[in-house]
Amino acid sequence: MRTERRDQCILISGESGAGKTEASKKILLYFAVTCPTNDHMLTLGDRLLQSNPVLEAFGNAKTLRNDNSSRFGKYMDIQFDFKGATMGGHILNYLLEKSRVVHQNHGERNFHIFYELLDGGDNDLLNTLNLERNPHSYRYLVKGSCPRVSSISDKNNWRVVRKALDVIGFTAEEVQKLLNIIASVLHLGNTLFGEGEEGETYITTETQLSNAAKLLGVDGSALKEALTHKKLTAKGEEMISPLNFEQAVSARDALAKAVYGRTFNWLVEKINQSLTLKVQEHSKDASIIGLLDIYGFEVLQHNSFEQFCINYCNEKLQQLFIELTLRSEQEEYETEGIAWETVQYFDNKIICDLIEEKHKGIISILDEECLRPGETGDISFLEKLEDTVGGHPHFITHKLANGKTRRVMSREEFRLLHYAGEVNYNVNGKIDQVMCQSENQILSHCFRREEVIDQKRPEMAASQFKNSLMKLMEILMSKEPSYVRCIKPNDAKQPGRFDEVLVRHQVKYLGLMENLRVRRAGFAYRRRFEAFLQRYKPLCPETWPNWNGKLADGVSALVNHLGYKPEEYKLGRSKIFIRFPKTLFATEDALEAKKPEIGKRLQISYFNMTRIKLFIVIQSGWRGMKGRRRAKKRREAAQLIRRFIKGFINRHEEYCDDNDYFLDHVRCSFLKHVRKNLPRNVLDKSWPTPPALLVEASEHLQGLHMRNMVIKYCRRVQPEWKKQMMQKVVASEIFKDQKGSYPQSVGRLFLDTRLEREQISLKVLQTLGSEKYGVSVIKYDRRGFKPRLRQLLLTNSFAVLVDRTKIKQRLDYAALRGENQLQRLKIIRFTVSRTKEGIIDFLRGSELKVAKGKRGHLLVVSQRLFSGHAERLRGRESLFLYERKKKNFHPADCVETVFSSSDRSSEQRHMKIL
C-alpha cells in the first residue's frame, strides 16, 4: 500500500468458530501498535479497537459451534496517510440475524448484550429499566435453555462495553436511550396474549406492555392497538381488523426484531461518525486497507432464512477467491504465452447462479411469490422452486429426492449442495408503523415517518441482501486482495485438539489444494519487463547504466548474465516469470552487494585510488562526527520539546521547575519583540500586545520608554526652538479654528523682524513715550526709486515713520481708509510732481525683487500678487510688513503699507489694516 499506493483488502474466511473475529482483532491491534501516531491518530486507533467489544456485545451470540459467533457480517475500511498512519475508518454491516432476538436453538443464547446488562448493570440502572437480574425471568433469554456460559464472564464484558462506549464518544443520554431499547425488547418478550370466546386477542400482561411503551417512548394505547389489530387500506379507505392469537404473537416478535435490528444499524452509524476522517482536505490522498470479517459457513439442525443468506455470502466469497487466485492466474499464463497445464478446480459459479440469477434464481422466485396477489404460502413457494429449478444438479427437495434422501428430508425443506457441503433449508418462515411516533431519539431516527406514507413497493429482504453483497464484491474487486483462511480444528471448542477428518474437509472445500497446485506449478514472482530491468540493470554491464534496445532483449541479457537456468524463469509477452523464490532472493542479494561497487565506480571517475581511500576515511570520520552531533541535537531537541510542552501545560501555575523554561521563553520572546517594535517618537502610541503574565510589566516598560523619549527630545531642543515652540503655543490659542489658513502655517517658523529697544533712537522713544512696536522698512524715493532705510514704529493709536532720530511722518489709525475702498489693482499710480505721475508695477516671480523697470516704473516682483483684497508678502526687507505682537493683540499690530514718493503727503500713501 505504501510503496505502490494501491488499496488493499484482507478477506478473512472460514467456518463458524474457526477464529475469524479473533483474527480481525489481531489485525486491528497490529495497525494500532505499528502505525505512526499523534494525538488524533491515537484516539482514532483506540476507537477502532474499542468498536470490536461494542459490536460483539450487540451482534455476537453463543451458538452450538462457537461461544462468540458473529451473527452479522462486517466490512471495515481503514484509511491511511502516505506515512502509513491511520486517518479514519468506516464500517459496513450485513444481515444481522434478527430472528435470534425471539428464538434460539437448544444450547444457544440470545445476543450477549442482554445477559451482560442483567449480570453487570448496577441495581439503580436495573430499577430504572424495571428489570430483574435473573435471565430466567425473560422469555426471549431462555428459549435455548442456556442463559449462562462457563467460558464467558458477562459481568466483566459489561464493564468493557461501558468503557468502550465512552471511548467511542457516546453521551450518557445516548447510552441510556440505547439501554432503554434493549430493556424494552425484554419486556416485549414477556408481553403475553389471551384469546376471547369470539376469537379476539387481548393482552394479559399490562405491566410488561406499559414498561415497554415507556422505554420505547410511545403511547401505551397505540402500542396495544398495534399489537392486537392490523390496518388495511383498500381503495383509499382504511379498515382496522383484530388479529388472532398466532398473528398477535408474530406481530410482537416482528416488532422486537425490527426494533433491535434497526437499533443495531444506528449503533454502527454512530461508530462510523466517531471514525470519520477529520482532515477532509487530505481525504483524496488517503490509501485504504479493507478488512472483511463475515459470518462463516453454517449447517444447523434447523436452517432458516438467515442461514440461507449466510451460506450464500460464503458462496460469493469463495467465487471471488476462485476468480482472483485460480482462474485469473492461469489465464495470465495463457495470455503471456507461458506453457501451462491447466489445474482443474471446482467452480462454484453454478451454485451462485442458482441462487441469484434473474427471473430464474431462488431469490427472484422468492420475491415474486411474496409480491404476487392472492393467497401465498411456504408450500406454494417450494412448489414453484421445484417447477423452475427442479432439474438443477445442486438443488433437491423431498419430492425430487430418491428414497434414501427422502427419509432424512422434511416435505417443507429444500437442499442446496454448497461448495462446503449439503444444507437443508426450511421454507417456514408489520408492525413498524407505530414506531414512527416514538419519543426515543434513537428509534425516531431508525423508524422514519416517510416509510409509513411511502406507497412504493418495498424491496424484499433477500433482494436487499443480494444487492448489498454485489456492492461488497465491487469494493473487494477494486482492491488488491490478501486472504486469511481460518481452519477450525475441532467441533468441541477445545484447544490443542485437531480433528484430521474435519481439517481435511475444510482444506478440500476451500480449494486450498488446488491453489497450492497452481502455486507449485506456477511462478512465485512476475513483473513487467520495464520494472524488472529498471531495478536490476546495475547487475549487468550490458544494461548499465541504460538499455536502448527492446525491453525483452534487455531482460534476456540481464538474466543470462545472472546465470538463470531455463527452468528457473520464463519470458512472456510483457512480463518475466520467476519460478522459485530463492532465485529472486539471490538476485536481491546480488543487488545489495553491488551497490557499494556502483558507488565506488562513481568515485573512481573523479579521484584516483589513493584519494578515494583517504576520502573514505575522512568521509567515515566526518559522517561519524555528524551522526554524533545529529544524535546529540536530537536528544537535546527532544528534551527541549518535552520541557516546553510540560511548561505549556503548566503555564497557569506558579513559577516552578515544570514551567520555568516556558515562562522564561515567553518573557524573552516578548522583550525581543518589544525591542524590534519600539515607538520611534513621542507621538507614536503603539505598543506590542503582551501575554497575560506580562501585562503589568509591559505597562511599566511602556511608561519608562515614553518618559525616556520625552527626556531625550527635551534635551535636543535648542533655546531658539524652545522660543519658537512657546510662540506656536500662543498662536494656537489665538488662531486655532479662527483663521482658515492657520493649519498650513503651523509648520512654518516665525521670523523675528522686530526692532529691539536699543535699535531705536532714544530721542524718538522719549518723544513717543508710550509702548511701541518697531520694524525696519525700505522707502523708495520718487526720483530713481532709490531705497532708503527707515523705521516704522507702531503705537496703540498711531504709526510713525522714522529716519534715524527724526520723525518723518505720523499717521493716525482713525484716518485710514476702509478695506472696501481700496482698488484691487496690479498697478498703483502716484503723483511725482504737480505735472508728473509715477507708476508701480507688480509682477509674479520666483523671488522677491524691487528695482527700477525699463519704462521708468517702480517694479515689484513677488511669488504672489494681489488676490481678492490684498496680497500678503512676507520678508525681512520688503514693502509689505506682517507681524504680530505676543501680547495685547490690536488690529494695528498687523499692517500692509505702500509708501509713495512723499513721506509728508498722507494723500499719496496707501495703508491697509489686515
Backbone angles phi, psi at 719, to 5 degrees: -55, -40
The answer to whether 19 is a known ligand-binding residue is yes
Beta-strand pair 525-528/480-486 = unpaired
State the catalytic residue, choosing from 13, 16, 287, 659: 16
Catalytic site includes residue 274: no
Residue 581 CA to residue 583 CA, distance in Å, equals 5
The answer to whether 20 is a known ligand-binding residue is yes
DSSP codes joined into one string, 682-709? TT----PPPPGGGHHHHHHHHHHHHHHH
Return the closest-CA partner of residue 101 out of 118, 83, 92, 113.
Answer: 113
State the catalytic residue, choosing from 21, 51, 184, 272: 21
State the catalytic residue, choosing from 13, 51, 60, 70: 70
The answer to whether 554 is a known ligand-binding residue is no
State the catalytic residue, choosing from 24, 52, 66, 583: 66
Q: Are 292 and 11 in contact (CB under 8 A)?
A: yes
Catalytic site includes residue 439: no
State the catalytic residue, choosing from 17, 45, 89, 361: 17
Q: Are 793 and 764 in contact (CB under 8 A)?
A: yes
Burial class (CB in 10 A: 0-12, 13-18, 19+), 810: middle
Residue 734 CA to residue 889 CA, distance in Å, equals 10
Angle at CA of residue 835, ends 830 and 836, nearest 5°: 40
Cell numbers that stand for 452 in this block: 409509513
Angle at CA of residue 818, ends 812 and 824, nearest 5°: 125
Q: Are 753 and 776 in contact (CB under 8 A)?
A: yes
Q: Are 329 and 518 in contact (CB under 8 A)?
A: yes
Beta-strand pair 8-14/480-486 = parallel
Return the closest-CA partner of residue 91 out of 386, 293, 242, 251.
Answer: 293
Catalytic site includes residue 298: yes
Q: Are 264 and 101 in contact (CB under 8 A)?
A: no
Cell numbers that stand for 673 in this block: 519583540
State the catalytic residue, choosing from 52, 60, 63, 69: 69
What three-state secondary structure class fits 625? helix
State the catalytic residue, choosing from 73, 296, 511, 572: 296
Residue 354 CA to residue 511 CA, distance in Å, equals 20
State the catalytic residue, choosing from 97, 298, 315, 896: 298
Biggest CA pair distance of the chain? 166
What three-state secondary structure class fits 852? strand
Cell numbers that stand for 416 in this block: 442446496
Handedness of CA 875, 877, 878, 881 (dihedral sign): positive
Inter-helix orientation angle 220-228/245-275, to 10°:
120
Catalytic site includes residue 66: yes
Residue 522 CA to residue 329 CA, distance in Å, equals 9
Amino acid at 273: Q
Catalytic site includes residue 877: no
Burial class (CB in 10 A: 0-12, 13-18, 19+), 717: exposed
Q: Which run of H or of E encompasses 800?
A: strand 798-803
Catalytic site includes residue 144: no
Cell numbers that stand for 108 in this block: 444457544
The answer to whether 21 is a known ligand-binding residue is yes
Cell numbers that stand for 670 in this block: 516578548
The answer to whether 24 is a known ligand-binding residue is no
Residue 255 CA to residue 257 CA, distance in Å, equals 5
860, β-bridge pairs:
842, 850
Query: What's the length of the chain?
Result: 914
Eight-state DSSP code of residue 30: H
Pick out the residues of the known binding site.
14-21
Q: Which residues are catalytic?
A: 16-17, 21, 66, 69-70, 296, 298
Pick out the residues of the known binding site for ATP.
14-21
